[in-house]
Structure 1
Amino acid sequence: MAKHYSNGMPAAELAGVSWRKSKYSGAMGNCVEVAPLASGEIAVRNSRFPDGPALVYTRAEMAAFLAGAKDGEFDDVLS
């Protein structure tokens, strides 16, 4: 039976996944980390709360978000 992942699940329950963060992340833990899951989905967590909730996205959802970020669609949230 395939493992079921759900949004908001404790990241600690995702044992064995390889979390990684951007090289642009600061040394103070101000980063978002991502991990590919066996299901093909992608988990996202806040590095300051490694055991906290993880959000789980499909590959299509993550691809749409990354395409928008690359196009600058979300630049306004930092202004």
Structure 2
Amino acid sequence: MHTTASHLVGAAWRRSRYSGKQGNCVELAAVTDAVGPVGHVALRNSRFPDDAALLVTRADLGAFLSDVRAGRFDDLLEDA
């Protein structure tokens, strides 16, 4: 599901503490009743903060992060 980040008024966006200052980070925000569909997390590109935002369930995000930690996407890295 997707929307525009500008529609997620009041969302508390955050990024990894490992992100640099280049302005090309992925930011995430928990979605609450006041913001959108509960139980979802919104993702956006920090370079375009009012543009597209992807909404995923917390369960789907958790599964994705587990797969990342397990190395299931390592073949997509340039140095792999």
Instruction: Please indicate the TM-score interval, normalised by the length of the shorter structure.
Output: 0.7 to 0.9
* Alpha-carbon RMSD: 1.0
- Cα distance between partner residues in 2 of 1:23 and 1:77: 23
- Indicate the residue corresponding to 1:19 in structure 2: 13
Runs of 4+ in 1 over 2 A off after TM superposition: none
* Alignment partner of 1:35 out of 15, 21, 29: 29
Tell me whether 1:71 sits opposite 2:65 in the alignment: no
Matched residue type, 1:74: F
Classify the secondary structure of the residue corresponding to 2:6.
helix
Percent sequence identity is 51
> For structure 1, which runs of at least 5 residues remain unmatched after alignment?
1-5
Query: How does the TM-score come out when normalised to structure 2?
Result: 0.85
Matched residue type, 1:47: S
Give 1:59 shift.
1.1
Matched residue type, 1:33: E
Query: How does the TM-score come out when normalised to structure 1?
Result: 0.86
- Cα distance between partner residues in 1 of 2:18 and 2:76: 18
- Indicate the residue corresponding to 2:35 in structure 1: none
> For structure 2, which runs of at least 5 residues remain unmatched after alignment?
33-37
Give 1:26 shift.
1.2
- Cα distance between partner residues in 1 of 2:57 and 2:24: 24
Task: Give the aligned length.
Answer: 73
- Indicate the residue corresponding to 1:55 in structure 2: 54
Give 1:51 shift.
0.4
Give 1:49 shift.
0.5
